[in-house]
Amino acid sequence: MVGGTITEKGIATRELILARAYQLAQQGGLESLSIGTVAISAGMSKSGVFAHFGSREQLQLALLDAVGGRFVEFVKAPALHEPRGLPRLRKLAERWCEWSRAHRNGCVLLSAAVEYDGRRNGPIREHVLRQQGGWRDELRRTIGLAVDAGHLRKDTDTTQLAFEIYSLMLGLHHDAGLFGYDEARDRAELALERLLASYRPGAREVRQ
């Protein structure tokens, strides 16, 4: 945290700024943010925003952290209450679908991955890479536990399955925006079950 006294009011103001920044980023992406527009939206002076976030980049990074933390809390925390293996993996996917529903008007994490692809280097891209890489690792670990539990084939390529599940979630988000959430969710859920079945012990192995 940069500047600002850590008081209840300070934390509340910081949260307010991040909430407004989130709304703006949902519309125009992280790159659309500026201290000025965020200040107007929060009904504050620019120096008021600067007292909490020393620069535009620090605001962008703090927003990514805040949303990333909320995503993990929303998706991972409930999954941890399920037994290791397919129950936990399914709960994770279910909560991820719910996140997609709640953010069908734009997910800042996903649009950041598009904004900061190979074209833009710098601290924000590094942050996005760490976040996305960390989430993929999390997914891979959850799949690995399902392998250990004997719910998925012993020779499951966890990186491959993590890619395939991630792709389905992108498909859900994409189709929800175009054709409506409910149909997209039905498609994604059926696709996930088909996918998991292809990795169950006894399923035929496919190699290229």
Exactly one of 106, 138, 149, 153 binds a copy of itself (CB under 8 A); which one? 106
Exactly one of 12, 160, 182, 201 binds a copy of itself (CB under 8 A); which one? 160
CB contact at 8 A, 176 and 99: no
Q: What is the DSSP letter of 205?
A: P
Taking CB under 8 A as the criterion, which residues in 172-191 touch a copy of itself?
172, 174-180, 184, 187-191
The reply on whether position 87 binds a copy of itself by CB under 8 A is no
Tell me which stretch binds a copy of itself (CB under 8 A): 16-24, 77-85, 88-96, 112-120.
112-120
User: What span, in angstroms and rounded, lies between the C-alpha atoms of 74 and 153?
Assistant: 28
Q: Give backbone dihedrals phi and psi of 122, rounded to 5 degrees, phi first.
A: 135, 180
User: What span, in angstroms and rounded, lies between the C-alpha atoms of 122 and 198?
Assistant: 40
Exactly one of 126, 141, 159, 201 binds a copy of itself (CB under 8 A); which one? 159
Cα-to-chain-centroid distance, residue 99: 8
Q: For a copy of itself, what does the binding mask look like between residues 55 and 84, x meaning CB under 8 A?
A: ------------------------------
